Amino acid sequence: MARKSYLLFAFLLAMIIRTQAQQQPLPVILDTDIAGDYDDVGALTLLHAFADKGEARILAVISSNAFETTVPTISVLNTYFNKPHIPVGITRKSAPNESCPQQWAQAIIAKYPHNLTGNAQAEEAVALYRRILAQQPDHSVTIITIGFFTNLAGLLASKADAYSALNGRQLVKQKVKQLVSMATSLPVGKTTGREYNVYIDAPAAQTVLAQWETPVTLSPFEVGEQVRTGIPLIKDKSIQHSPVKDAFAIALAKDKDTIGRMSWDQTAVFAAIRGITPWFNSRKLNLRIEKDGSNTLIPGTRFTYLELTGSQAKKLQQEIEKLMHHQPAH
Ligand SMILES: [Ca+2]
C-alpha cells in the first residue's frame, strides 16, 4: 500500500514537473538586419506576442546590419511592446550596411518613442552575445537569425573574456539549445540556390553553417515566399498608433503590394517557438556555402530543412497574420 502511494506520488510529481517545463517560456536571442525589408518588423512582433503569451522570453535583440536606423527601430518596437529595457546589440563592423529604401524605418523612428536613438548606444554584438549566454543555463538558449551571419561568425571566433573562460565555439556548444535561421534556398528540383541572408555576408555564413555545433533548423526562401501577410493588418481599424501597422502600411503602399509581403522572417520565429509539426514538413540535409554565397546540396543530415505544402502555407499564413495583430497591454 505504501509502495502504491509512493508510486502515485512520484507519478503526480513527474506530471507537475512536466507541465511546468512545458510552460517555461523559451529563452531567445533574435539576430536581425531590420531595415532592408520589413518582414523583420513582423518577426519581432511575433516574438513579442509569444513573450506576452508566456511562450518566449526575449534575452536580447541584436542587429547584423550597420545601417543607421537599425538600433532605433528595434528600440521603437521594444518600447511599443512595453519592453524598452531588453538588451540591444549591433555589429561594430562597417558592413553589412543595407539601407531602408522604403523609408518605413525613418518614419516610425520620427513618430514613436524610443530610448536608443543611435546605433552607438547599443552594445557591441559579440560582447552582448557572450554576456547573455554566459548567464544562461546550459543548452537552454534558442538563437534565431533573420539577417546575416556576421555576429554569429564573430561569436564563434571570440576568445575567453570577463564574461566566460570559454571560447566562442565552446560557449555556443555549452549554452545554446538550437539555432533557427531564415537562410538558404533550394528551388523545386534544384540542388543549388542563392539567398540574401547568406550572400550578403558569405564568409560569415560559410563559417557559421560549417562550424555551428548545436541542432540547426533552416527556414529557406521557398517557405516564407508562400506566406503573404500584412494586408489584413493595415486594414485592421482596431489597431491605432502602432509602429508595426505603420511600417507595413508605408512599405506595402510603396511596393504597390496588394497581396501581402512574403513572410520569410516570421516563419523562422514561428518555427523556433511553436515547433515544426504540424505547421511545417521537414527533411534532414546538408548544404555547402560557396564563396559567392550560393548554397549547394551535399550528402549528409546536418540541418533540419523546413518545407511547406500549399494547405500548410494557408494555415500558417492565418496564424502568422493573427500574431502580427498583437498589441501591447496598456
Ligand atoms: Ca531580415
CA–centroid distance, 148 to ligand 1, in Å, is 8
CA–centroid distance, 65 to ligand 1, in Å, is 10
Mean pLDDT of 89-95: 98
pLDDT band, very low/low/confident/very high, at 140 (cuts 50, 70, 90): very high
pLDDT at 42: 98
CA–centroid distance, 159 to ligand 1, in Å, is 28
Cross-strand pairs, 180: 144, 217
User: Domain 26-324 is in which class?
Assistant: alpha beta
CA–centroid distance, 32 to ligand 1, in Å, is 6
Average pLDDT, the chain: 95
pLDDT digits (tens, 9 = 90+) for 264-279: 999 999 999 999 999 9
pLDDT band, very low/low/confident/very high, at 226 (cuts 50, 70, 90): very high
Of all helices (H) and strands (E), which one includes residue 324?
helix 310-324
Give the residue, 1 or 280, on which the prediction is more confident.
280
Cross-strand pairs, 143: 29, 179
CA–centroid distance, 97 to ligand 1, in Å, is 13
pLDDT at 262: 98
Instruction: Compute the distance between CA of residue 181 and CA of residue 62 in angstroms, rounded to an integer.
Output: 14
The model's pTM is: 0.93
CA–centroid distance, 220 to ligand 1, in Å, is 12
Cross-strand pairs, 283: 305
CA–centroid distance, 149 to ligand 1, in Å, is 11
Listed range (10-19, 115-124, 281-290) with the worst mean pLDDT: 10-19
CA–centroid distance, 39 to ligand 1, in Å, is 6
pLDDT at 13: 58
Instruction: Compute the distance between CA of residue 154 and CA of residue 93 in angstroms, rounded to an integer.
Output: 10
pLDDT digits (tens, 9 = 90+) for 19-53: 544 579 999 999 999 999 999 999 999 999 999 99
Nearest-CA neighbor of 285 among 203, 199, 185, 197? Answer: 185
pLDDT digits (tens, 9 = 90+) for 169-190: 999 999 999 999 999 999 999 9
Mean pLDDT of 94-103: 97
Mean pLDDT of 243-272: 98
Instruction: Give backbone dihedrals phi and psi of 10, rounded to 5 degrees, phi first.
Output: -60, -40
CA–centroid distance, 133 to ligand 1, in Å, is 22
For residue 329, pLDDT over 80 is answered with yes
CA–centroid distance, 244 to ligand 1, in Å, is 15
Q: Cell numbers of 275, please? A: 515547433
CA–centroid distance, 41 to ligand 1, in Å, is 9
CA–centroid distance, 146 to ligand 1, in Å, is 4
CA–centroid distance, 18 to ligand 1, in Å, is 35
Q: Are strands 294-307 and 192-194 parallel, antiparallel or unpaired?
A: antiparallel
Angle subtended at Cα 117 by Cα 114 and Cα 121, rounded to the nearest 5 degrees: 115
CA–centroid distance, 50 to ligand 1, in Å, is 19
CA–centroid distance, 321 to ligand 1, in Å, is 17
Task: Quote the percentage of the chain above a pLDDT of 90.
Answer: 92
For residue 201, pLDDT over 90 is answered with yes
CA–centroid distance, 145 to ligand 1, in Å, is 8
For 5, 7, 116, 120, the CA distances from 1, given in Å and listed in that order, are 6, 10, 64, 67
Give the residue, 18 or 76, on which the prediction is more confident.
76
pLDDT band, very low/low/confident/very high, at 8 (cuts 50, 70, 90): low
CA–centroid distance, 36 to ligand 1, in Å, is 7
pLDDT band, very low/low/confident/very high, at 330 (cuts 50, 70, 90): confident
CA–centroid distance, 46 to ligand 1, in Å, is 14
pLDDT at 5: 64
Mean pLDDT of 133-140: 98
Instruction: Compute the distance between CA of residue 141 and CA of residue 129 in angstroms, rounded to an integer.
Output: 11
CA–centroid distance, 264 to ligand 1, in Å, is 8
Instruction: Compute the distance between CA of residue 249 and CA of residue 329 in angstroms, rounded to an integer.
Output: 22
CA–centroid distance, 5 to ligand 1, in Å, is 55
Mean pLDDT of 123-129: 98
CA–centroid distance, 165 to ligand 1, in Å, is 32
CA–centroid distance, 277 to ligand 1, in Å, is 24
Domain range list for the chain: 26-324
